[in-house]
Structure 1
Amino acid sequence: MTYQNPKNLASIKEISARLDDPNLVILDCTSTVIPADSGSGFAVADGRGAFEAGHIPGAQFVDLERDLSTPSDHLLFTLPSAEQFGNALNRLGIGAESRVILYSTGQPGWAARVWLMLRAFGFENAAVLNGGWKAWTNAGLPVETGAAKARPAASKPFSWTYRPGFFVASDEVVARTEDEALVNALGADSFRGEAPIAYGRPGRIPGSVNVPTSSLVDPDTGLYLSQQQIEKIFADAGVKPDAPLIAYCGAGVAASNVVFARTLSGAGTRSVVYDGSLLDWSSDPDRPLVTG
């Protein structure tokens, strides 16, 4: 398939042929959301056990919550400092000459979140593996087990510096203009406030439209839909191609995939994620949510 920004997406064919490239760094970014027994809320488990049971040869594992997020009592996956982020990526052997490939099992939002964070901290040479772990194993490509093998430190370190323009806080959501699309990336049941997992309070931010993250990939293959299909999904939701966009979800992961897909298609002048998303919004009882 052809996309406006194809450099952001890597194929299994491309990566399987480059496994011996010393500048190639492959990261498994998988975490798992576990619904609480109470039926409200959830916990997050890292994917290290699944990684050690099988991963792309030479891949490293990165824990989004524990390695790449700022600890918080009520939020998940919020942006870390440039120092924390850089230290974590340096430990994985990423440097100025690295080509970073990101993948996850299940939904691609985990990989897309790390891709967007890399961009926010100035690193551009990164791509999401199209189809992720599902595409790799379906193709019968080599699999490695056990803990990740440590990579040497990069010979040319990268200078990690935070750049605004990829993530926003609640004040920018409140201040958005009528021309700026506000997109809820959760499923339709969550959008209506009917899902079993609630992010503090059920519902959506007023003025939102719904583009479920799952709608952007083929459910059987895990591959991203074509550019034309992605454009149609946004158009059907009422998002104009040239409209600035703020995406949100429960904690900023699914929303990152919406921004990734829109960037892939080349649409829009500005697409950002509301960091904190519904976990942040719903923590203030004065902020409205609508259901139905």
Structure 2
Amino acid sequence: MTGHCAALISTEELARRMGAPGLRIFDCTTYLKPGPDGRYIAESGRANYDKGHLPGAAFLDLQADLSDKGSKLRFTLPPLEELTKAFAAKGVGHGTFIVLYSHASPVWATRIWWMLRSIGFDDAAILDGGLDKWKAEDRPLSTEAATHPPATLSLRARPELFVDKEKIKGAIGAPGTLTLNALSHDQHKGAGGVVYGRAGRIAGSSCVPAASLFGADKALKPIADLRAAFDGVGAAQDKRVLVYCGGGIAATLDAFVLTAMLGHRNVSVYDNSMQEWSNDPSLPMEIG
């Protein structure tokens, strides 16, 4: 990615800052693998973390440690008070600067970044290109597991950063609101790819696939290309943008680009996304 963004850190800059006081690095990787029924199986990235990670990086297990254990749906956001305590226990707190990365796709890092924003913590950045770019540049790796000391963290809740199905339902056809799908164009059309229930999209929604926002090196595309992608679906600065995907993960990459890089101020993520919507026959969907 070319151009400066405070919430995006390059491999070069991170390498220079290694060992800085207050720096906390986290591997956020989860893997989604198609199961025999055509739906995804979630697998923690811990095993690959143990084989090699950025020096000093700790591991964040989204599904085990940072999701609502009482939810029947995967990756559901826990209550913000609980989330704040969980992050503090992992070493996120006042006086720390957090760098988040993942392997194969940046969406796992942006999910954690968006969650941090929802509790009012802004001193966090995404490693552009993640583990893939770091390794491609032959930068050092470690197999020594790391943890960070617990920190003090206060909740400054921003509940508006996540929305539920009622907010999405109410936004259908609403002037000044754009609902965006971060899944693939085939999934958006109901023409292929993994499904979460009924095939297709939320009625009235447009599509900017999260996978179209980064290149083969997993780094984000140039800012002009990113702006063109969202301009192409009418994501004007004065619109409220609601982003969804399969389970509230890929949507956070669209949300990250819109807010951190393109300056949008009214963006929300539908937390449970299609795993909830497509399994409720009362909620409107479209195909084609």
- TM-score for both structures, normalised by structure 1: 0.93
Mapping 1:37-48, distance limit 5 Å: 37-39=36-38, 41-48=39-46
Counterpart position of 1:251: 247
Aligned partner of 1:163: which letter? R
Q: Does 2:93 match 1:92?
A: no
Task: Give the secondary structure class of the aligned counterpart of 1:56.
Answer: coil
Shift of 1:72: 4.8
- CA–CA separation in structure 1 for the residues paired with 2:37 and 2:13: 45
RMSD of aligned residue pairs (Cα, Å): 1.5
Asked whether the equivalents of residues 178 and 241 of structure 2 are also in contact (C-alpha less than 8 Å), the reply is: yes
- CA–CA separation in structure 2 for the residues paired with 1:68 and 1:221: 28
Q: Does 2:53 match 1:58?
A: no
Q: Deviations over 1:125-149 (max 9, x none)?
A: 0011111111111111110014x22
Query: Is the deviation greater in 109-118 or in 189-198?
Result: 189-198
Shift of 1:14: 1.3
Asked whether the equivalents of residues 162 and 270 of structure 2 are also in contact (C-alpha less than 8 Å), the reply is: yes
Task: Give the secondary structure class of the aligned counterpart of 2:253.
Answer: helix
Task: Give the secondary structure class of the aligned counterpart of 1:175.
Answer: helix
Compared with structure 1, are the counterparts of its residues 121 and 73 closer, same or farther at alpha carbon in structure 2 (3 Å cutoff)?
A: closer
Counterpart position of 2:210: 213
Task: Give the secondary structure class of the aligned counterpart of 2:286.
Answer: coil
Identity within the alignment, %: 35
Task: Give the secondary structure class of the aligned counterpart of 1:100.
Answer: strand
Counterpart position of 2:259: 263
Q: Could you tell me which of 121, 124, 127 is aligned with 2:122?
A: 124
Q: Could you tell me which of 102, 110, 113 is aligned with 1:112?
A: 110
Counterpart position of 1:18: 17
Counterpart position of 1:171: 166
Counterpart position of 1:192: 189
Task: Give the secondary structure class of the aligned counterpart of 1:7.
Answer: coil
Shift of 1:266: 2.7
- CA–CA separation in structure 2 for the residues paired with 1:180 and 1:153: 40
Aligned partner of 1:12: which letter? T
- CA–CA separation in structure 2 for the residues paired with 1:187 and 1:72: 29
Q: Which runs of 5+ in 2 are unaligned?
A: none
| Matched positions, count | 285
- CA–CA separation in structure 2 for the residues paired with 1:238 and 1:163: 25
Task: Give the secondary structure class of the aligned counterpart of 2:160.
Answer: coil
Shift of 1:267: 3.7
Q: Does 2:277 match 1:291?
A: no
- CA–CA separation in structure 2 for the residues paired with 1:262 and 1:270: 9
Q: Deviations over 1:90-110 (max 9, x none)?
A: 222222000000000011111
Task: Give the secondary structure class of the aligned counterpart of 2:231.
Answer: helix
Asked whether the equivalents of residues 252 and 275 of structure 1 are also in contact (C-alpha less than 8 Å), the reply is: yes
Asked whether the equivalents of residues 30 and 103 of structure 1 are also in contact (C-alpha less than 8 Å), the reply is: yes
Counterpart position of 1:135: 133
Compared with structure 1, are the counterparts of its residues 208 and 72 closer, same or farther at alpha carbon in structure 2 (3 Å cutoff)?
A: farther
Compared with structure 1, are the counterparts of its residues 26 and 242 closer, same or farther at alpha carbon in structure 2 (3 Å cutoff)?
A: same
Compared with structure 1, are the counterparts of its residues 238 and 163 closer, same or farther at alpha carbon in structure 2 (3 Å cutoff)?
A: closer
- CA–CA separation in structure 2 for the residues paired with 1:152 and 1:125: 17
- TM-score for both structures, normalised by structure 2: 0.94
Shift of 1:84: 2.5
Aligned partner of 2:20: which letter? D
Shift of 1:167: 0.6
Aligned partner of 1:71: which letter? K
Shift of 1:68: 0.7
